[in-house]
Structure 1
Amino acid sequence: MRRRNALLIALVVALLLLVLALRWVGQPSRVAGLILSEAGKSLGLEITAAGASEYRLRGTPMLLLRDVVARQPGAATPLLRAERIQLELPWATIRAAGNDLTVRRIELDAPQLDIAALQRWQATRPPSKPRIPTLTEGLRLVRGRVIGDGWSIDALDIDLPALYPQRSLSAQVRGRFVSDTLAGPFDLEAALTRPAANAGLGLSGSVGVESPPWSLPMRLTLSGLVHDGVDGMGVDIIRLGAVARYRNGETELPFVFGLAGPLRMHSGEVGMSPLGFALRGRDAIPSLHAHGGFSFGDLLTLRLDGLIADWPKAWPALPEPMESSVSALPFKYEYRGRPDLSDTSAMQLQRDATRFDASFRLPEVLAWIDAIDQGTPLPPLAGHLSTPRLEIAGATLEGVEVDITPALGEAMSP
């Protein structure tokens, strides 16, 4: 009788535990909470999913999370938010308990990544060799956003058909770079020799720069090597070539240009130094080559030091003896201000013994170029010209100093 009672009690307890377990498993939010808690512990993050969660066990197991937030404990800014994250994991991956990183598919809706918060978290992680997962059915990301220091990438869509650690991959990447009044839509095909540091990277497609009333659509190709180090993420040995067209109202000026150098992204800023730059234009666009660098965060800092091959024929003619000279024109250019180049630029230009130091605002100069056939022959800039000899209207002046201001025009004192 005692054995029967003990067996009956055991059966009742087992059934009760089974009912409780089924009830607990039948609540996706609890399952999701447990999974996110364990994932957060392993990553040193607080990960929550405030929205309704779902999971599926038949076939390929699936977990769907909504309103996901991941942050460092105590951090004010999350490093990741997402409206929806869906994971499909084969049973073999689940049974492997982390030894197998094969995932069937990942989908993300409206993820938002904060670069500065991400890099702060990365700095706290112990050194380790990154493990690249296998995505047999790839990744789809829609309406994403990446937030940097003074800039963002909005409306980001990524379509990655598949990912394998030791194989090449390709993806379609679309989005819109935004900073202050400057915008840059892009639609690119991306390729990697493998998903790892020092892998070969290739990009090709359309990119634009827009700052009304002007725009700069272009087609570009880029190659380089993926970089990931203490100085940030980026691309080494960049070779970029682009066919571009400046447009402003009725004005349309074609040109081509190229860039070379290492690109770095660190603490939310993007920079390239040393930088090699070459421009080949016609009409009002000069041909030149230069070296220098730039950094881009809250402000854009740009410096170039190079040579203009010749004075563009569409620009106002120079006085003699500068007009007859066949010498190239060394120049230096510096800018620090808003990303649309609307703040004051400084430029130094020289031909033989003649030197001109100028300051100007690019939008005003572009407007002058647009109306160069109808407007004033003097560009809207302030500057100082010094030359040992100047010929004007048959007269020869020596030891000439010329000061130019946009408001007063030209004042000369020989």
Structure 2
Amino acid sequence: MQIPPFSLSKQISLLGDDLNSALLRVLQSGQYIGGEEVNTFEESFAASIGVPHVVGCNSGTDALVLALRALDIGAGDEVITSSFSFFATAEAISAVGAKPIFVEIDPRDYLIDLSQIEKVINSATKAILPVHLFGCPVDMEQLMALAMKNGLKVIEDCAQACGAKWQGRSVGSWGDIGCFSFFPTKNLGAAGDGGCISTQDGQLAQRIRELAIHGMPRRYLHTELGYNSRLDAIQAAVLNVKLPHLANWVKKRDLVAKRYLDALDNLPGVELPSTKSTIHMLHAWNQFVVSVKDISSKDSLSSKLFSHQEMRSSNSPENQNRRDWLKNSLRNHGVNTIIYYPIPIHLQPAYSELGYTSGSLPITERLCSEVLSLPIFPEITFEEQNYVIKVIKNLLA
């Protein structure tokens, strides 16, 4: 049996007729930029997350850049964020000339540690950019109170958390601006790149809309330097077909996650994602990420975990860390997993000039060597997931 970490094939087969009709409708219309499909999606998505304004754009990365520019964040400014995220989170901050300031994450949920934020606030700090990572929402009540106390803007990175909520409110509706990605592997995925910005502020929405079309409030009038970042009509059409299914897909992801949580509880050396705040949040489970702890080969527990043959093999935990051993062993059994993220942003070569060194963020760095994302998507069958669980248990227990 071969189990992918994520699969679109079943989703496409279920929605194929509707997708074909939508794509053909756009192609026959001849309106590939803007138009009815884009307007419909912006209105529908705004209603689904409870905000009055949504502006489509080319990607989640562009959404972050547009958000920062709309808030006049630039050279000399600092933005506090997490180093445990996709590179675009910090890259967008640098793209507008500002400086990313990284703080530690909470090892229980991989989210920015709110208790560490005030320690790095200074006169240059202009905003906080929380990442709702793997579908898990940040405690936005606490974060918004902290931002208000310190006079800071809040830009939510919702790229991995479409469908997630905190205290009944959707991510992207709390901060000054929310930024979404519709990369194909997201909970709500397009057929290529796509993104959007959400906000409660009509003036911000209008400025973002103008920035995304060359700083142009009306045709051939350019009031500031913008650039081209529009959501294609074809991508909007795909999203219009998929959006009505999002809530049900999130429910199915939650069922998959709960089966993992029940079946893999108390496995030695494996820490499951925290569900400490389930009464306050709706987790969207874009990824199901476990932390695989290293166990020294000198530890007597090692002999209980691995057979002599496994311990002698080139793929044994004696020759690589335990997470990598597990990933390779699962692949050998047909179970494909992904590592998010092997190198934290603050240790990426592109950010060497910021002065972070190994040990600057020890929790983040440790987790980068431990995390492993197990297969999760709405269409994974009970039999497929049971096979994943069985293989993991056989390897570790």
TM-score normalised per structure 2: 0.19
* Greater percentage in strand: 1
Q: Greater RCO between the two (CA within 8 Å, min separation 6)?
A: 2
TM-score normalised per structure 1: 0.19
- Structure showing greater radius of gyration is 1
